[in-house]
Amino acid sequence: MAELKDVKGIGPKSLSLLNKIGIFTIDDLVTHYPFRYDVLKRDELSNIGDGEKIIIDGKIESVPILMRFKAGLNKMNFRLVTPSGVVGVSIFNRAFLKSKLLVGTDVIVIGKLDKSKNVITASDIKFDILSNKVKIEPVYHCTSGLTNKNMSTYINMALLMYGKEIVDYIPNEYQERYQFVNKKTALNIIHNPSTSEKLKEVTIRLKYEELFQFMFKINYLKQQKKREKNGLVRKISREKLNHFINKIPFTLTNDQTKAIDEIVKDLEAPHRMNRLLQGDVGSGKTVVAFTAMYANYLCGYQSALMAPTEILATQHYLNLCEFFKDTDIQVALLTGSISKKEKNEIYKGLLTGTIHMVIGTHALIQDEVIYNNLGLVITDEQHRFGVHQRANLQNKGIKPDVLYMSATPIPRTYALTIFGDMDVSTIKERPKGRQKIDTYVKKNSEITEVLEMMYEELKGGHQIYVIAPLIEESENSDLTTVNELKDQMKLAFKDKYRIDIVHGKMASGAKDLIMEQFKNNEVQILISTTVVEVGVDVPNATTMVIFDADRFGLSTLHQLRGRVGRGTSKSQCILVSDSDAERLKIMEREDDGFVISEEDFKLRGHGDLFGTKQSGDMTFKIASIKNDYKILLQAKKDSKEYLENKDTDNDSLKKYLIQSITKVN
Ligand code: ADP
Ligand code: MG
């Protein structure tokens, strides 16, 4: 394929400017889609403001005067009579039009009007006066030194010279099925649309192509993973497993049972497990994880569970000890803060295999940690861990199965894409007897009422989380605001209750200490400037107050709300905000995290759901996961069908698609 520099008109300078905005190949260039279109109507002079764009009909009144400058540049001026008055027209670098621009000729001029000089600087002159009533002009992301006009010229030149060579990723069969135009035509139209109908049609076609290519890749990777036989093969005794499950002090929900079943099947299968276990806060993922660890133990392998913070690791550890107290299973906790001596003991146990299960933080994946036969790795709140960290396990050659747990419900659309190459188990059903958390939206002016509600809970012996109002980090005033809030609460509740603060700039040790005190009910009101550590379990906390609630996404609010309602007492969540009440009202009526995340997603896109980690994979040039869900589903179905269809195995396109995937991975 030709290179960018081969396109006529692209010299070294424009090449480096194009590179600057991420355009390196001809393919990049022709898929540099307009981010919007300006629709120009044919109009009259009097309706157009200074500096505005215009399309106007008129008759040439004066012989064009041509001026030539250095470097082959030129400019032409003439007068145009229009139904709404006479106007001057200037056009650059169209000397070749001079012979056609005769006095008395009818033309359409497209350009920008300078009202004070009464001159239109034209970008184009057309002679076909019967052409459309509107002109749709593409507007591109450009950079200084590279104009919209340049961009358009380069793209059209590239299409003219190399349009036929541009790979069309839609197989013929689907091209025909949906009566799509070919790639070259589609690109021509998207960059030079004549009507909005045509534009719409090819936009769908190009979106489909992009999603087809993407879903093909995901389907392919998934298929490959399934085919790889590099996982552990185990035979798990259902009898022993069921015996164990029957001893759990509550009955598992159907979703929990189903998830366990799916995991156990994965553990037995020869491919490596790569599964996401998702479920709302409190839906009971932990038991599922522990049961998986037990199944793994039955086959003689070690398990490791990674948590994002020490507090969470410790919490899991205590639960795990309780869970396996009547068994011979040896459990250890490995975090950064335990003594060197203890650490060495644990390292030894993991190396020799006397420790069967280990819980910990990042400490689990340090180089010093060598496992004897690690068979299963579980990460809690997986989006907090980087991919390379997970890969960092020293395991004497055994490739463990991996289970990710996430309490952030992912809308179907995202599950399909972000976790597209993972299998997903979902727990939707809640354990029986869970109470709904009452949620109220309050204004700042209703603060007295909020304080009264808090006081009622405190009197009942309960504890409260408070998320402090938004503060500009840069102002460095955050502690002042939080301290003021603390003073206000002190004033309201006197010295009867202990109030403490955790904030973002605090060392993690100090933070953990206060969290610990809150857990032990030595602190009754915990004011936090940051989002409270995900997953902390303090059943006695029954109220969550969130100031400036409008600044959070609904999914985050739902997560925060999930900190309460963990015990048997009725719990509540108070959202304080003076704006965005409509959105916050969703929280009042909805308590299903999946529904909330769908709503959030409709309102805000995926920004709130995850950090930036996934965003690289999520950038599409024309498709949008948010708006093009239907096309995505179709593309998913079609690409899977195409991939699995043996008759197409000799297609050069299929080979090409697979080749391009294996190259980048
Ligand atoms: P999460 O999904 O947020 O990790 P947990 O696993 O911590 O939820 O479960 C929350 C609480 O619910 C725990 O105290 C757990 O013991 C309890 N639990 C889990 N499953 C059930 C069930 N099927 N019936 C009753 N209680 C359950
Ligand atoms: Mg949990």
**pLDDT score of 388 more than 50:** no
Compute the distance between CA of residue 123 and CA of residue 110 in angstroms, rounded to an integer: 6
Ligand 1 contact via 315 beta carbon (within 6 Å):
no
Ligand 1 contact via 320 beta carbon (within 6 Å):
no
Task: Identify whether residues 472 and 553 lie together within a single domain.
Answer: yes
Site to probe by mutation for ligand 1, drawn from 283, 315, 380, 532 as the one with most ligand atoms within 8 Å of Cβ, is 283
- Helix, strand or coil, per DSSP, at residue 42: strand
Q: What is the DSSP string of 80-131?
A: EEETTEEEEEEEES-GGGTTT--TT-EEEEEEEEETTTTEEEEEEEE--TTS
Q: Which helix (DSSP H) or strand (DSSP E) does residue 358 occupy?
A: strand 357-360
Ligand 1 contact via 287 beta carbon (within 6 Å):
yes
């980087």: which residue's tokens?
A: 386
Task: Identify whether residues 58 and 7 lie together within a single domain.
Answer: no
Ligand 1 contact via 361 beta carbon (within 6 Å):
no
Ligand 1 contact via 656 beta carbon (within 6 Å):
no
Q: From ligand 2's centre to the CA of 405, what distance in Å? A: 8
The residues facing 143 across adjacent strands are 146
Q: What is the mean pLDDT of residues 406-415?
A: 71
The residues, any chain, with a CB within 8 Å of residue 627's CB and separated by 6 or more, are none
- Helix, strand or coil, per DSSP, at residue 551: helix
pLDDT of residue 132: 62
Task: Identify whether residues 60 and 174 lie together within a single domain.
Answer: no
Site to probe by mutation for ligand 1, drawn from 247, 248, 250, 538 as the one with most ligand atoms within 8 Å of Cβ, is 250
User: Three-state secondary structure along 579-601?
Assistant: CCHHHHHHHHHCCCHHHHHHHHH
The structural domain count of the chain equals: 5
Task: Identify whether residues 341 and 487 lie together within a single domain.
Answer: no
- Specify the residue with its C-alpha closest to ligand 1, atom 19: 284
Last residue of a domain, one of 540, 569, 590: 590
Task: Identify whether residues 32 and 80 lie together within a single domain.
Answer: no
Task: Identify whether residues 160 and 182 lie together within a single domain.
Answer: no
Q: What is the DSSP letter of 305?
A: E
**pLDDT score of 266 more than 70:** yes
Which ligand is closest in space to the CA of residue 559?
1
Please identify, by atom number, the ligand 1 atom nearest to the C-alpha of residue 285.
Answer: 2
CB atoms within 10 A of CB 518: 25
Residue 613, in any domain of the structure: no
The CA distances from residue 142 to 429, 590, 619, in Å, are 50, 43, 18
Last residue of a domain, one of 427, 455, 483: 427
Q: Which CATH number characterizes residue 470's domain?
A: 3.40.50.300
Ligand 1 contact via 565 beta carbon (within 6 Å):
no
CB-based contact 557:586 (threshold 8 Å): no
**pLDDT top residue among 411 and 13:** 13
The residues facing 652 across adjacent strands are none
Amino acid at 413: T
Categorize the per-residue pLDDT at 498 as very low, low, confident or very high, splitting at 50, 70 and 90. very high
Q: What is the mean pLDDT of residues 390-417?
A: 73
Please identify, by atom number, the ligand 1 atom nearest to the C-alpha of residue 283.
Answer: 2
Please identify, by atom number, the ligand 1 atom nearest to the C-alpha of residue 539.
Answer: 14
Q: From ligand 1's centre to the CA of 354, what distance in Å? A: 29
Task: Identify whether residues 17 and 62 lie together within a single domain.
Answer: no
CB atoms within 10 A of CB 404: 22
CA 14 from centre of chain: 33
Q: Which CATH number characterizes residue 67's domain?
A: 2.40.50.140
CB-based contact 423:643 (threshold 8 Å): no
Mean pLDDT lowest among 83-92, 412-421, 450-459: 412-421
How many DSSP H helices and E strands does the chain contain?
A: 22, 21
CA 541 from centre of chain: 31
Q: What is the pLDDT of residues 425-445, one digit of tens each?
A: 999 888 877 778 999 999 999
Q: From ligand 1's centre to the CA of 548, what distance in Å? A: 30
Q: What is the mean pLDDT of residues 603-626?
A: 58
Mean pLDDT lowest among 238-242, 413-417, 420-424, 461-465: 413-417
pLDDT of residue 535: 55
Which ligand is closest in space to the CA of residue 538?
1
Residue 361, in any domain of the structure: yes
The residues, any chain, with a CB within 8 Å of residue 197's CB and separated by 6 or more, are none
Q: From ligand 2's centre to the CA of 243, what distance in Å? A: 24
CB-based contact 128:194 (threshold 8 Å): no
Q: What angle do CA 436, 438, 440 make, to 5 degrees?
A: 155
Compute the distance between CA of residue 371 and CA of residue 303 in angstroms, rounded to an integer: 10
Q: What is the pLDDT of residues 22-78, one digit of tens each?
A: 899 999 999 999 999 988 777 888 888 898 888 898 999 999 999 998 888 899 999
Dihedral of alpha carbons 479, 480, 483, 484, sign:
negative
CB-based contact 594:408 (threshold 8 Å): no
- Specify the residue with its C-alpha closest to ligand 1, atom 18: 284
Could you report how far apart the first and last alpha carbons of the chain are, in Å? 22
Compute the distance between CA of residue 309 and CA of residue 589 in angstroms, rounded to an integer: 32
pLDDT of residue 280: 82
Q: Which helix (DSSP H) or strand (DSSP E) does residue 278 occupy?
A: strand 274-279
Ligand 1 contact via 284 beta carbon (within 6 Å):
yes
- Helix, strand or coil, per DSSP, at residue 222: helix
Mean pLDDT lowest among 107-121, 200-214, 464-478: 464-478
CB-based contact 289:276 (threshold 8 Å): no
CB-based contact 75:53 (threshold 8 Å): no
Site to probe by mutation for ligand 1, drawn from 277, 286, 318, 540 as the one with most ligand atoms within 8 Å of Cβ, is 286
pLDDT of residue 159: 96
Closest CA to 497 of 469, 473, 518: 518
- Specify the residue with its C-alpha closest to ligand 1, atom 23: 252
Report the relative pairing of strands 374-380 and 119-126 from DSSP bridges. Answer: unpaired
Last residue of a domain, one of 373, 408, 427: 427
Ligand 1 contact via 203 beta carbon (within 6 Å):
no
Task: Identify whether residues 316 and 209 lie together within a single domain.
Answer: no
Q: From ligand 1's centre to the CA of 311, what distance in Å? A: 18
| Maximum C-alpha span of the chain | 102
Q: What angle do CA 83, 88, 89 make, to 5 degrees?
A: 100
Task: Identify whether residues 455 and 492 lie together within a single domain.
Answer: yes
Ligand 1 contact via 253 beta carbon (within 6 Å):
yes
Q: From ligand 1's centre to the CA of 556, what distance in Å? A: 20
Phi-psi region of 621 (alpha: psi -120 to 50; beta: other; left: phi over 0): alpha
**pLDDT score of 664 more than 80:** no
Q: What is the mean pLDDT of residues 497-517?
A: 84
Task: Identify whether residues 507 and 366 lie together within a single domain.
Answer: no
**pLDDT score of 300 more than 80:** yes
Which ligand is closest in space to the CA of residue 307?
2
614-645 b/e (C-beta count within 10 Å ≥ 16 → b) = beeebebebbebeebeebbebbbebbbebbee
- Phi, psi (deg, nearest 5) at residue 640: -70, -45
Residue 607, in any domain of the structure: no
Q: From ligand 2's centre to the CA of 135, what distance in Å? A: 56
Ligand 1 contact via 567 beta carbon (within 6 Å):
no
Which ligand is closest in space to the CA of residue 282?
1
**pLDDT top residue among 584 and 433:** 584
**pLDDT score of 113 more than 80:** yes
- Phi, psi (deg, nearest 5) at residue 587: -65, -30
Ligand 1 contact via 407 beta carbon (within 6 Å):
yes
- Specify the residue with its C-alpha closest to ligand 1, atom 20: 284
**pLDDT score of 608 more than 60:** no
Q: From ligand 1's centre to the CA of 539, what distance in Å? A: 12
Report the relative pairing of strands 134-139 and 302-306 from DSSP bridges. Answer: unpaired
Tokens coding 281? 């806060």
Residue 304, in any domain of the structure: yes
Residue 661, in any domain of the structure: yes
pLDDT of residue 365: 81
Domain that holds residue 583: 438-590
Tokens coding 662? 């294996």
Task: Identify whether residues 284 and 413 lie together within a single domain.
Answer: yes
Amino acid at 185: T
Ligand 1 contact via 279 beta carbon (within 6 Å):
yes
Categorize the per-residue pLDDT at 364 as very low, low, confident or very high, splitting at 50, 70 and 90. confident
Please identify, by atom number, the ligand 1 atom nearest to the C-alpha of residue 280.
Answer: 2
Q: From ligand 2's centre to the CA of 567, what distance in Å? A: 15
Residue 601, in any domain of the structure: no
Residue 481, in any domain of the structure: yes
Ligand 1 contact via 250 beta carbon (within 6 Å):
yes
The CA distances from residue 302 to 83, 117, 248, 356, 578, in Å, are 86, 82, 21, 5, 52
Q: What is the pLDDT of residues 639-655, one digit of tens each?
A: 999 999 988 888 889 98
The residues facing 91 across adjacent strands are 76, 122
Residue 610, in any domain of the structure: no
Task: Identify whether residues 36 and 94 lie together within a single domain.
Answer: no
CA 573 from centre of chain: 27
CB-based contact 65:91 (threshold 8 Å): no
Q: Is 269 exposed, middle or buried (0-12, 13-18, 19+ CB in 10 A)?
A: middle
Categorize the per-residue pLDDT at 451 as very low, low, confident or very high, splitting at 50, 70 and 90. very high
